[in-house]
Structure 1
Amino acid sequence: MNNQHPHHPHDPNQPTWPPEGYGPPPQPPKKTSVGKIVGLGCAGVIGLVVLIGVIGLAVGGDGDKDDTTKSSAPPTVPDTGRTADDLPEQDAKSKQAVTLKARTTAFSKSILATDGDYTSVLVTITNNGDKPLDVNPLYFTVTDSNGTKHTTELAVDEKQIATVELAPGENISGTVTGKNTFAPKYVTYTDGFLGDSYRADVS
């Protein structure tokens, strides 16, 4: 008696396990936590906002610094190195171009003087300007203590001031004479009749 198990032929209609030609079954995919993804996304957005804010502050800070420097710096005066606040105030009254002095003197009658009384004043005039100055006896008048103005009587006094042209820095002295006797108060010189006038009290 044969004890060997009889050989059963394979039935093609019966499935085999595991099926032939297939490996172990695939593992299911791992699930990613939705909360973790949302958390990482929010953190990235917050970090980006903070970074933009820091850059904006840095740029804005530099601009404010530049504006403050420009507005607070005092203006400088060219070629001096000093600011406008350091300069002294300019004198509103400039140096006079003419210096005039006057004092009483005795009348020295010339041969051309007619009968009558005269009053003379000795004047000294100096050219302080940078241009020639014309001097003429007719450019002078004498005002008395009553306010009356006396014009010059020509050639009646031997010491009459001459008609000259004074160069810058030059001066000349001579008398200016008015008709009648009076108390002279001040002398006025007018440069060319219509020019600037200069006055000197009689001492």
Structure 2
Amino acid sequence: MTQPHDPSRQPHDPSRQPPYANQQPYPQPPGYGFPGTPPPPPRKRGRFLKFAGLGCAGVLGLVVVIAALSATGGGSDDGGNTAADSSAGAATGAKEKREEEKPEQGDGPVKLTAERAEFSKSVLADGSDYTSVRVTVANDGDDEVSVNPLYFTITDTDGTKHTVELGVDEEQIDTVDLAPGENISGTVTGKGTFTPEYVTYTDGLLGDPVRVDVS
């Protein structure tokens, strides 16, 4: 039996597609629609930690180098040379000062000579640890000159000044007043064993000092 023709029904045309056939579907967020999709990998921080470790190691190495240089500089030869130079300069200055303080024997009325002498122990000596010098005082002026063992001092080669010990040497110089043209000799003695360098004589408390080297 022949079916009646339906004008609303059109024959199928393969070239005709639905209006939305070529459009892409909306993107779906990860994890939806595709089971088993792995999550995004975490951010790597290994490189940052590596650089941070290298930075700390560099700072530590720099500190060690600075400490080593400081320790080496503190014990350098320059410091020793500087200390030696300072000591030598101080010794030279002290010697020059002693030279300036030495009153030279001039054209005054007192003429003084001094030479080393053996210590002659007296009953007043406490042992034999003394050093004696034989001095000669001559009055070359027109007035009297007073002589007394206490008017003398002995300076040793180290620059130490020794006062005279009274009565310890049997040949100690006498206490006298020298008339013009007179002279007297005797010993002056200091406590201890030392090498005498020069003797200083002062006529009383107000007189000018006179120095002579010990021969």
Q: Does 1:176 align with 2:188?
A: yes
Match of 1:189 in 2: 201
Q: Using the TM superposition, give the Cα deviation of residue 195 of structure 1 relative to its aligned residue in structure 2, in angstroms.
A: 1.0
Query: What pairs up with 1:80-159 in 2 under 5 angstroms?
Result: 95-159=107-171
Higher-helix-fraction structure: 2
- The amino acid that maps onto 1:150 is H
Structure 2: distance between partners of 1:107 and 1:136:
19
- SS of 1:112's equivalent? coil
Distance 2:147 2:116 in 1: 20
- Secondary structure of residue in 1 paired with 2:186: strand
Cα distance between partner residues in 1 of 2:127 and 2:168: 10
Cα distance in structure 2, aligned partners of 1:189 and 1:145: 18
Q: Return the TM-score normalized by structure 1.
A: 0.53
Sequence identity of aligned pairs in percent?
Answer: 66
The letter for the 1-side match of 2:178 is L
**C-alpha distance in 1 between matches for 2:170 and 2:155:** 21
Shift in Å, 1:194: 2.6
In 2, Cα distance between the equivalents of 1:190 and 1:177? 16
CA distance in 1, matches of 2:164, 2:113: 17
Deviations 1:108-129 (A, max 9, x none): 0001111250000000000011
| Gaps in structure 1 of 5+ consecutive residues | 1-93
Q: Report the CA distance between 1:169 and its aligned residue.
A: 0.5
How do 1:28-47 and structure 2 match up within 5 A?
none
- Once the two structures are superposed, the pairs formed by residues 160-171 of structure 1 within 5 Å of their partners are 160-171=172-183
Paired amino acid for 1:182 = F
Which 4+ stretches in 1 moved above 6 angstroms? Answer: none
Aligned counterparts of 1:175 and 1:159: Cα–Cα separation in 2: 6
RMSD (Å) for aligned C-alpha atoms: 1.5
Work out the CA distance in 1 between the residues paired with 2:107 and 2:208: 13
> What secondary structure does 1:169 align onto?
coil
- State whether structure 2 residue 213 is matched by structure 1 residue 201: yes
**What's the CA shift for 1:144?**
0.2
Is contact 2:121–2:128 with CA below 8 Å preserved after alignment? no
Aligned residue pairs: how many?
111
Please give the alpha-carbon distance, in whole angstroms, between the structure 2 residues aligned to 1:193 and 1:160.
Answer: 21
The more displaced of 94-103 and 121-130 is: 94-103
Structure 2 unpaired stretches of 5+: 1-105
Letter in 2 for 1:189: Y
Task: Say which SS state the counterpart of residue 138 (structure 1) adopts.
Answer: helix
